[in-house]
Amino acid sequence: MSTTPLVLDLENSAGALDPSKVVYAGDAYHGQPYLVVTEDGIILVGDQNTVVNVGPDFGVLLSGKLSLSAMPDQISIGGGYWRLNPLLTSCVPSTTPTPIPTLVAATPELLRSSSSISDCESSLLQYSDLA
């Protein structure tokens, strides 16, 4: 393992990146996307303004334009216990006299499928020599 410090200042990083911990296409990393892997996290750089930083201190940081290719009812928050209200796309915002909640309670996909998993398990155990 190299003892050379890796500079993660993406705005002033010209010539400072350690090539052994950076993945990029071609011979030079200037002007193209690259991936920085450290002991503490991973940084995916699309360009100067688009960065995904994953680390233990701040979690997942997104920088730049964001596009979610899912309908509001398919976006979950807090491990799936909350979802965006699907009514948000069909009505006037909640600043009207009849407020529409932004988040609605939901059951995470893992918990919703637990009954089908236990049904499958009992079916398998029924024909098994272990039961």
Residue 120 and residue 126: Cα distance in Å, rounded?
Answer: 10
Task: Please report whether residue 129 resides in a domain.
Answer: no
For 29-49, write each residue's pLDDT tens digit. Answer: 677 888 888 888 899 988 888
* CB neighbours of residue 81 within 10 Å: 13
Domain hosting 28: range is 1-65
Q: How confident is the model at residue 53 (pLDDT cuts 50, 70, 90)?
A: very high
Q: Are residues 58 and 1 in the same domain?
A: yes
Same domain for 55 and 92, yes or no, is no
Residue 130 within any structural domain of the chain: no
Q: If you average pLDDT over residues 75-89, what whole number do you get? A: 81
2 and 36: one domain?
yes
Domain match, 43 and 97 both: no
The dihedral built from the CA positions of residue 111, 116, 118 and 120, taken in this order, carries a sign that is negative
Q: Does 80 lie in the same domain as 24?
A: no
Look at the chain and report how many structural domains it folds into. Answer: 2
Confidence band, pLDDT 50/70/90 cuts, at residue 2: very low
The whole-number average pLDDT for the span 4-17 is 52
Look at residue 85 and tell me if it is in a domain: yes
**Would residue 86 count as lying in a domain?**
yes
Which residues are CB-neighbours of 89 under 8 A, at least 6 positions away?
Answer: 71, 72
Q: Which ranges in 50-113 belong to alpha helices (H)?
A: 109-112
Give yes or no: residues 19 and 56 share one domain. yes
Query: Does 93 map to a domain?
Result: yes
Tell me the backbone φ, ψ of residue 72, rounded to 5 degrees.
-55, -35
pLDDT at 27: 78
Contact between 62 and 54 (Cβ < 8 Å): no
Considering the domain architecture, whether residues 84 and 116 belong to the same structural domain is answered as: yes
